[in-house]
Structure 1
Amino acid sequence: MRGYPFFRYVAALLIGIVLAEAWPTVSPYWAAGFGLGCLGLYLFRLRRNERKTIKPLDLVQGFALLGLMAALGWGLLYAHTPAHRPDNLLNVPNPPDAYEAVITNLPETRAKTIKVELALRRGRWNDGDSAGYRPLTGRVVAYLDKGDSLAPTATPRYGDVWLVLHPPRLADPPLNPAEFDYRRFLSRRGIYHQQYLRPWQRRVIGYDPPSRLTALAYRVNAWADSLLTQKIGSRAEYGVVNAMFLGTRDDLDPVQYETYAAAGAVHILSVSGMHIGILFIVLSGLLTWLAPGQGNRWWVIGLKLSVLWFYALTTGLSAPVLRSAVMFTYLLLAGGFNRSQSLMNTLGASAFFVLVYDPYAAFSVGFQLSYLSILGIGAWAPQFIKLWRPQTRVANWLWEISMVAVAAQLVALPVSLYYFHAFPVYFLLANPAVALLSTLLVPLAVATVALGWVPVLGDGLGWLLRQVAWLLNAAVDWVGHLPGATFDGFWPSALAVGLMYLLIGLAGMVVLTRHRRYVRLLAGAAVVLALLTVHDVQQQATQRRLVVHYQPRKTTVSLTAGRQTQLLTDADWETNPRLYDFYLKNALDSWGVRQVQTGSLLADTIATLPPYRHTPDVSLLVWEGRSLLLVNRLASYRRWQLPAVVDYVVLRRNALRDWHQLQQRVVARHLIFDGSNAMERVDSLLKTKPPTLASRVHSVRHSGAFVAEW
């Protein structure tokens, strides 16, 4: 590690960033004091060692420098957190009635909405003496109806200044177990609020892009998009090219995306460092053939940098491409100045400067997977390739590209399982075709955009690009539809991920040193991971859990015993399976559920639940010794009363208008408002206390899913 100083600096910087994110309430003055202490100790030891003729290896001096880097990471994250600003929207007592903001992203088109990000400039409050506009900072994610357009000029664009006549609200937390934490995701981008805007709630009052360079990049991106649309034509091929080259998935079919995921090729559908790496390799090979021995000449370096940064510009200067462009720029400049080049140190240096610029990049999945994959390729691929030397050129190429894929997957696998919970079985089968066709597609896309204006040449390049995209789709589709293409249901804990990386590191030390000590440590770590897995499996086998899930305008109750779950719901999964995938699948997978049975709340009886009884007013069941009552309506002309205390009462579809409606009917240990109730009615009911009706009242819309475990 002594030859890779930036690796040590990045590790220390990451420690400081992670600690600052884990303990946001700790005063930054502690980190500042620690950093100053480390700096003083480092300078003291440095000055003392300079007086010696033979400079010793001073561990205290080294750890002091690493401590300084950790303190720097803490301070950088604190400085990059907008919530610490007193004029941030998060810190004002009341949200403004109206505010002025500018669009800071390329508007994203969804199935039914358009998503924009707004940077606030000032807000207006109608609160007496202090009424009027005051300076205000913060960012808001706003969603518009896809058909929302006040005029042709009102189509959202980067740099538009809006007057928004509606207060924003805090971003929603995850409301179901294991649901993606969108609030945390936004907060790591400095966004804490969101809102849904109607046409009359916004007004375009000017155009003032925050960055002229970004505005230029978005214009180039739009121009490239229109050119590729014209040259490619067919939607399936255009969708893949658009995703790979421009970073936009608007035209990508959901089934097509799932096929790429099953084949282990979904990573190529996101603009990333891999694409700029492909472009760099192809460009270097082409220039080596055209100008042999001129690789470190400044005109060659300038040409490479021009092409790489032109590609970055066409992607709208997306963050993953910028990270890789910086890394390859560093690599090219080092070659130009005749400095020794180390992939590992270059990787560490680029990560260091990226984290200094944006410390929250450390929590980006793309950042983690990109650097881990390159780390695996640099550390393991050469060793794997040496294991076998095929006799033919084609076999040798297939072997090398497969070993590169294995090295990349090996190091990124624990993080990939942690975030995506699935493993593509046939990724080695798809990888040669994906690697070859991607290597052709990215340079062809660059050439088509750069030379598309040439009448005959542009049409020829567009035709070739379409054919390559078709071949890529066909290869991935074949692999993705093989039986058992994906193993899913992986939900490793953070501790398990750490143990996996410990195993990978120890395995590497065994290969490098052949020392028995590392073999024993490897075996011990494997035993610990196996015991942790057995413990999790045992817990899943004995679990008993009743959950009232949140689902908009729907009722969903899950009853989980061991690895089986019974769902009681009024949702129609067959007509809209995305509801199940979005609100329930993660929870059931994280519990290790292997069998799911669905029962309709409208049925008189459910075969798998003999104690279940349904009437127009209520539905009652007893499961695992717990009683559950679902209240469908409370009619004054039909009086009913339960003689015993009920464990859980679920109030549905605005059945309750006043707490007195439940008096003389039921007493419950828990009263639960599900997602089928109007939020305004629940708000008004929660303001008053139910008179001796329940020991606890819970609203899934306000507090998330109700979970009872025993």
Structure 2
Amino acid sequence: MMTFYFHKYPFMRLIIPWITGVFCGDLFFDSSPGLFWGVLVFFLFFGLSMTFYFLQRYSLRWCFGVTTFALCFTGGWMGITWQLQQTTNHTFPKEEAVYRILITDTPQIKEHTYLCRALLRGHCDSIGTHPIEQKVILYLQQDLAVSRLRSGDELLVSARISLPANNKNFDEFDYARYLMRKGISGTGYVASGKWAILSSDLSSNLSSGGQALCLSLQPDRTSKHNLGTSLFYLRSMANSYREKIISLYHELGFNGDELAVLSALTIGDKTELSESIHESYSVAGASHILALSGLHIGLLYALLFFILQPVAKRGNTGKCLRSLFLIILLWAFAFFTGFSPSVVRSVTMFSILALADMFGRQSFSLNTLAATAWLMLLCNPAWLFDVGFQLSFVAVTSILLIQQPIYHLFTIKSRIGKYVWGLMSVSIAAQLGTAPLVIFYFSRFSTHFLLTNLAVIPLVTIILYIAVFMLSLTPISWIQTYVAEGVKKLLEILNLFVRWVEQLPYSSIDGIWLYQLEVFGIYVSLLLLFYYYMNRRYKNLITCLSFILLLAICHVTMSWIDRPQSSLVFYNVRGCPAVHCIESDGHSWINYADTLPDKQLLKRVVTNYWNHHHLLPPKEITADYKTTAFSRQQQMLSFHGCRICIVTDNRWRNKLADSALYTIDYLYLCKGYDGHLEELTRLFVPGCILLDASLSEYRKNRLEDECKQSGLHFISLSEEGSVCFLL
């Protein structure tokens, strides 16, 4: 029966090996063979599959299946390998250099900088401009001139751009690989006075010192409109329209959380979302509402489908026209959202549905979903690793597979009851399918998701439809103002309801840790359960239960291996020097060396590590403290007999002693100490010296040289990453 099932959905048989190939190609990218050999293998399997297909021998049908599987696997592998190699095939100079860049997105304000996504047009020197065409992320120091930059501006910048790198902390998010998948080749910091505008409506606004830099180089401007950058200009145009819509929202009186949620719902702009509103929606289980994706495009598709219904009544020609209008309008909407990946994949899916409706085929099926995924991964294999991509397709797949079985568990006779239970069954199916991924990526499970979606989805539907009506009333401003007041009230109700759910007891379970292998095992278990439901055979139930038991044993075993152990951990977090003392029962003390530590940054970096090893929330220590196993006095720590000295100032400088006063295990040098190592070794006998990431490059290099001259063992956290010492 399963073989017949797969024969009904041929694209399912193609997408599985393609996804496997993309995953393996990314995993083994660093040791992957050259593209030449991959292309050779690809054409070998292509030739074999064509040979077996045209032979048309029933006895060799399995050979065609195997070679087609291998062909798709190799195609996925080569696709992601080629894409990643395009990002890593350029080497940047180690010293500061001058580059010509094109800003491709609206700069985003950060704490001390503006984040600019840009296209490197060329490397400038005394000879001329050498073309590069690589995407980078630049952090421009905040000043008045930077705040006026817009997408589409062309600049000259003087900066040291380097390949993306991780801080090598335990279980830290792989930011370098994330940027590689996004096509980002490098990152750099640009100080004030190190950039100048070349072409913009704001070209008169140059940063201080930028005018001289511009005049001294005089780069060639003839390459501005080459084919390679046309897509970026198209995106700039889309961003300008988005900004106009946001300006209209401001004029209509939207502000604060209402403006942020409306912008996220209608044009996919999430820059206005505050940390508090984002956390509220996450805890309540409504984060998918803020991510413009399948739900919103589906609602828009349904609205347009209804509006264009009279056109479809004119026979096959009318149906074709309706599908054509649907596709044009959906892609026009994608244009206004800046062609974000989540919108592109959703619009692609619904465009295929519109085409299927045009030809009278079943519009919404697993085969359509698999075809959409295959087409998208063919265009951009790296989308497989986008969390939104995974959640969208898993949610739709689970709805297609298990929504009907869940719905038929209860018989509801009333019309309202059927509607409510239908909505709940869809929510249960989607949540059941996406729960393993949500827990894996966010270590959180929202327990009140049914209550949230029961109210939120109808509210969002109404808000989205009225917002579209409101935008269409732009020529009639006095009516538009009244409609805007209604939208504000609905947004206020939506946000109040989400915050109310957030405050309910046990609204979410946090700190859950799932291993990657476990996520795969859970989905296999769900498929086995579904297979049993379809066949109702006793042996299938035994197989499923046995697999679940094996999965539970693996989880217990891996949890025992990763249990907490008495240890000291030093993290590579530049803005927050700290010593983490961990007990074997999960309790711990985190000692902040800085008087004003960036605790939020530290928690973002190391939360995964704490969840992985099942640690309880650590006790934060900033002053003298003492327990049976742990004590802190001034800059001296003692934990299970291990002594650590944290040096953050010059209190130990110019101290004289005939011999060393303290034998310590670890000497932790942080920003604030300006002396030489010799001054400390007169007072301490350290077993190991740790150089924190907060030290400047000059100070770090000088201390490293002094350690080498004295023959002392040292570890530089900025180079080695986090270190753990078992006690």
Instruction: Give TM-score scaled by structure 2 length.
Output: 0.88
**Structure 1 residues 611 and 445, CA, compared in 2 at 3 Å: closer, same or farther?**
closer
1:311-330 to structure 2, matched below 5 A, reads: 311-330=333-352
Q: 1:284 maps to what in 2? A: 305
Q: Counterpart in 1 of 2:479?
A: 457
Shift of 1:425: 0.6
- CA distance 1:532–1:232, change in 2 (3 Å): farther
- Correspondence 1:569 to 2:569: no
- d(CA) in 2 for partners of 1:513, 1:669: 65
Residue 360 (structure 2) pairs with residue 303 (structure 1): no
Deviation digits for residues 48-102 of structure 1 (CA, Å, limit 9, x no counterpart): 21xx6xx56711101211211111112222222255775x2xx245456111111
1:198 aligned to which of 191, 196, 214: 191
After superposition, the C-alpha distances for 1:412-462 in whole angstroms (9 at most, x for unaligned) are: 111111111100010001011111011112222222223322233322332
Residues 1:39 and 1:661: Cα distance change in structure 2 (over 3 Å)? same
Distance in structure 2 (CA, Å) of the matches to 1:227 and 1:532? 55
Task: Establish whether residue 354 from structure 1 lines up as the match of residue 376 from structure 2.
Answer: yes
- Which residue is equivalent to 2:676? 658
Instruction: Give CA-to-partner distance per residue, 1:486-531, whole Å, 9 cap, x none.
Output: 1011121111111111111111111111122321222222222222
Q: CA deviation at 1:199?
A: 2.9
Structure 1 unmatched ranges of 5 or more = none
Deviations 1:364-396 (A, max 9, x none): 111111111111111111221122232222221
Contact 1:101 1:120 in 2 (8 A): yes
Q: Give deviations 1:161-183, integer Å, cap 9, x for gaps.
A: 11111222333413532332222
1: CA distance, partners of 2:595 / 2:550: 43
Q: Which residue matches 1:169?
A: 162
| Equivalent residue number for residue 521 of structure 1 | 543
**1:101 and 2:96 correspond:** no
* Equivalent AA in structure 2 for residue 18 of structure 1: F
Distance 2:543 2:109 in 1: 51
Matched, 1:637 2:655: yes
Paired letter, 1:669: G
Task: Deviation per CA, 1:229-288: give whole Å up to 9, x if none.
Answer: 222424221111012222222322321211111100011112212210121123334545
What secondary structure sits across from 2:422 in the alignment? helix
**Do structure 1's residue 608 and structure 2's residue 608 form an aligned pair?**
no
Structure 2: gaps spanning 5 or more residues: 1-5, 201-223
Q: 1:441 to 1:95 in 2, by over 3 A?
A: farther
**Percentage of identical aligned residues:** 24
Q: CA RMSD in A?
A: 2.7
Contact 1:334 1:340 in 2 (8 A): yes
Query: Where do residues 137-216 of structure 1 align in structure 2 (5 Å cutoff)?
Result: 137-149=133-145, 155-206=148-199, 208=224, 210-211=230-231, 212-216=233-237
Q: 1:147 to 1:402 in 2, by over 3 A?
A: farther
Shift of 1:675: 3.6
| Higher mean C-alpha deviation, range 528-537 or range 500-509 | 528-537
Q: Which residue of 598, 604, 626 corresponds with 2:642?
A: 626
Match of 1:13 in 2: 18
Distance 1:137 1:551 in 2: 32
What is the SS of the residue equivalent to 1:165?
strand
Correspondence for 2:219: none
Q: Would the aligned equivalents of 2:242 and 2:267 in 1 still touch at CA under 8 Å?
A: yes
2:660, 2:681 within 8 Å by CA — same for their partners in 1?
A: no
Match for 1:229: what amino acid? H
Q: Distance in 2 between matches of 1:465 and 1:302?
A: 31
Measure, in 1, the Cα distance between the counterparts of 2:483 and 2:337: 19
What are the Cα deviations for residues 617-657 of structure 1, in whole angstroms up to 9, with x where unaligned? x5142x23433232344312343855775332212334364
* Secondary structure, aligned partner of 1:566: strand
Q: TM-score, normalised by structure 1?
A: 0.90
Against the structure 1 CA distance between its residues 340 and 396, is the aligned structure 2 distance closer, same or farther, given a 3 Å change threshold?
A: closer
Residue 85 to residue 140, structure 1, CA distance change in 2 (3 Å)? closer
SS at match of 1:98: strand
- Cα-to-partner distance string for 1:348-379 (whole Å, 9 max, x where unaligned): 11111111111111111111111111111111
5 Å matches for 1:411-560? 411-539=433-561, 541-560=563-582
2:230 match: secondary structure: coil
The number of residues matched between the two structures is 688
Change (3 A) 1:93 1:257: closer
- The equivalent position to 1:26 in structure 2, one of 24, 32, 46, is 32
Partner of 1:47: 54
User: Judging changes above 3 Å, is the alpha-carbon distance between structure 1 residues 112 and 668 closer, same or farther for their aligned structure 2 residues?
Assistant: closer
CA distance in structure 1 between the aligned counterparts of 2:710 and 2:141, rounded to whole angstroms: 45
Q: Which moved more, 1:686-695 or 1:195-204?
A: 686-695
- In the TM superposition, residue 302 of structure 1 has moved relative to its aligned partner by 3.2
Q: Describe the SS at the equivalent of 1:136.
A: strand
Q: 1:109-168 CA distances to partner (integer Å, 9 max, x unpaired)? A: 445543211111211357xxxx65323242221123454416xxx722222211111222
* Paired letter, 1:31: G
What CA deviation, in whole Å up to 9, does each residue of 1:16-57 have, x standing for no partner? 2112111223222332232222112212212221xx6xx567
Q: Would you say the 8 A contact 1:649–1:670 is kept in 2?
A: yes
Q: Following TM superposition, by how much is the alpha carbon of 1:301 offset from its aligned partner in structure 2, in angstroms?
A: 2.2
Change (3 A) 1:194 1:114: same
Instruction: Single out whichever of 489-498 and 661-670 deviates more from structure 2.
Output: 661-670
Moved more, 462-471 or 411-420: 462-471
Contact 2:87 2:185 in 1 (8 A): no
Q: Is the 8 A contact 1:183 1:192 kept in 2?
A: no
For residue 556 of structure 2, give the secondary structure of its aligned residue in structure 1: helix
- 1:268 maps to what in 2? 289
Q: How far is the alpha carbon of 1:609 from its aligned partner? A: 5.5
Q: State the SS of the aligned residue for 1:164.
A: strand
Alpha-carbon distance change, 487 to 105 in structure 1, aligned in 2, over 3 angstroms: same
